Amino acid sequence: MDIQEYMQQVGKNAKASAKVLARAPTATKNRVLLSTAEILEQSQSELLAANAKDLEEGQQIGLDSAMLDRLALNPDRISLMCEGLRQMATLPDPIGQITDLAYRPSGIQVGRMRVPLGVIGIIYESRPNVTADAAGLCLKSGNASILRGGSESLRSNQAIAICIQKGLAMANLPTTAVQIVETTDRAAVGELLRMSQYVDVLIPRGGKSLVERVSKEAKMPVIKHLHGICHLYIDESANLEKAIRVALNAKTQRYGACNTLETLLIAEIIAPKILPDLARMYLEKGVELRGCPMTRALLTSLPIVDATPEDWDTEYLAPILSIRLVADLDAAMEHISTHGSAHTDAICTEDWNKARRFLTEVDSSSVMVNASTRFSDGFEYGLGAEIGISTDKFHARGPVGLEGLTSQKFVVLGDGHIRT
């Protein structure tokens, strides 16, 4: 197989079907989502068989148990995938929405119409459910998609793609509106990164090294999510009961998520009142605590690890928390600005002015007052779905839903108007 030729063909197919998809009626797009869900359910045995082969090969090549778990499909996970597609069908169609249509002094009416971006490339790792999820979001937002999953999940992804393509065919849409890259040759990724004539935006979903490679080499715009070093600052004005609840939830509700708390900052003056209890609760839940010297001095009776400078810059994605006492709000914001990743940062405070300053001055994609960082998520925010979280500022910031996969053009309505 000539990889370059193959990928060029994939790109051409995508570009051509993007034109059709851009003007597909809402009802047609919803029909594809709903029939795909049905076909996926009917194809459960095929999906599980394909997945079993992927899992078998995964074991042979020595994937660890976490990777094998992410790779595995089962009836529950297939149901969730279908549930996701059905939910997308209920979301409002962003395409064609006209906003701000208003008369100008010249007599013309000017407004903005939401349009698809065109072709979206998604590069992701083992979870096969991303195939249905990403394809559905791209489809609903009127975009063609090229999906490049992990090579360990190729057979599962192929089986899912067949269902999606059946759904497209049933609605008379081109089956190339959703294509998966049907080769495990890594050269295909390099090719994808260079095909800016066909691919309008790339979304890498996976580990930091994947995201860094894509950002560096891609010749088209990238919606990227590098990492989440999330902070909670407990101010001296905090309500202690709320602060403990939020701090525990932000760290322990799920350890491996990008919106999980990694560093807890506490105002020095309030630390003796809150930290001993809070630390014990974390330790009881099995969280390893790494503290600054002041933290350790305060908690001499507890097993607190000495935090190194690297700790402040580390996304643990694990039951580990770094803790630092700071003088005040300014010191906390300084720490966040220096060590944060502009993902999600929160403050616990009952002080109006401090809340207002934190919201305004902390330059992260999500800033929160008295709420757990774990809320930073497309579903929780009401976007209906999420293709990823952007820690960039350009185009999209924070959780990216359907709207992040669109653009707006200007529409001008006149009656023979000319410029003078």
**Contacting positions for a copy of itself (CB under 8 A):** 19, 22-23, 96, 102, 104, 106, 108, 110, 113, 115, 117-118, 200-201, 221, 239, 241-243, 245-246, 248-250, 253, 337, 346, 348, 359-361, 363-372, 374-376, 380-382, 393-395, 397-399, 407-420
Cβ neighbour number for residue 129 with a 10 Å cutoff = 17
Task: Name the one residue in this structure whose structure tokens are 């669109």.
Answer: 406
DSSP string, 71-140: H---HHHHHHHHHHHHHHHHSPP-TT-EEEEEE-TTS-EEEEEEEE-SEEEEEE-S-THHHHHHHHHHHH
- Shortest distance, CB of residue 30 to a copy of itself, whole angstroms? 18
**Closer to a copy of itself by Cβ: residue 19 or 273:** 19
DSSP state of 222: B
Task: Name the one residue in this structure whose structure tokens are 């937002």.
Answer: 141
DSSP state of 387: S
**Closer to a copy of itself by Cβ: residue 145 or 376:** 376
Nearest of 403, 385, 356, 327 to residue 112 by alpha carbon: 403
How far is it, in rounded angstroms, from Cα 336 to Cα 97? 38
- Shortest distance, CB of residue 201 to a copy of itself, whole angstroms? 6
Bridge-based pairing state of the strands 98-103 and 109-116: antiparallel
In three-state form (DSSP H/G/I as H, E/B as E, the rest C), the secondary structure along 272-311 is HHHHHHHHHHHHHCCCEEEECHHHHHHCCCCCCEECCHHH
**Closer to a copy of itself by Cβ: residue 237 or 253:** 253
**Closer to a copy of itself by Cβ: residue 54 or 200:** 200
- Shortest distance, CB of residue 312 to a copy of itself, whole angstroms? 19
- Shortest distance, CB of residue 91 to a copy of itself, whole angstroms? 15
Q: What phi and psi values does residue 226 have, to the nearest 5 degrees?
A: -80, -65
The token duo for 411 is: 């529409």
**Closer to a copy of itself by Cβ: residue 42 or 106:** 106
- Quick one: CA dihedral 350, 354, 356, 359, positive or negative? negative
How far is it, in rounded angstroms, from Cα 87 to Cα 296? 48
- Shortest distance, CB of residue 93 to a copy of itself, whole angstroms? 13
- Shortest distance, CB of residue 369 to a copy of itself, whole angstroms? 5
- Shortest distance, CB of residue 150 to a copy of itself, whole angstroms? 26
**Closer to a copy of itself by Cβ: residue 12 or 397:** 397
- Shortest distance, CB of residue 137 to a copy of itself, whole angstroms? 17
Computed on alpha carbons and rounded to an integer, the radius of gyration of the chain in Å comes to 24
Whole-angstrom CA distances from 253 to 261, 262, 292, 316, 343 are 10, 13, 24, 14, 18
**Closer to a copy of itself by Cβ: residue 159 or 223:** 223
Q: Are 102 and 127 in contact (CB under 8 A)?
A: no
- Shortest distance, CB of residue 411 to a copy of itself, whole angstroms? 5
**Closer to a copy of itself by Cβ: residue 160 or 218:** 218
Query: H/E element holding 400?
Result: strand 398-400
Bridge-based pairing state of the strands 344-348 and 230-234: parallel
- Shortest distance, CB of residue 43 to a copy of itself, whole angstroms? 33
**Closer to a copy of itself by Cβ: residue 78 or 250:** 250
Measure CA of the first residue to CA of the last residue in the chain; give whole Å: 59
**Closer to a copy of itself by Cβ: residue 47 or 371:** 371
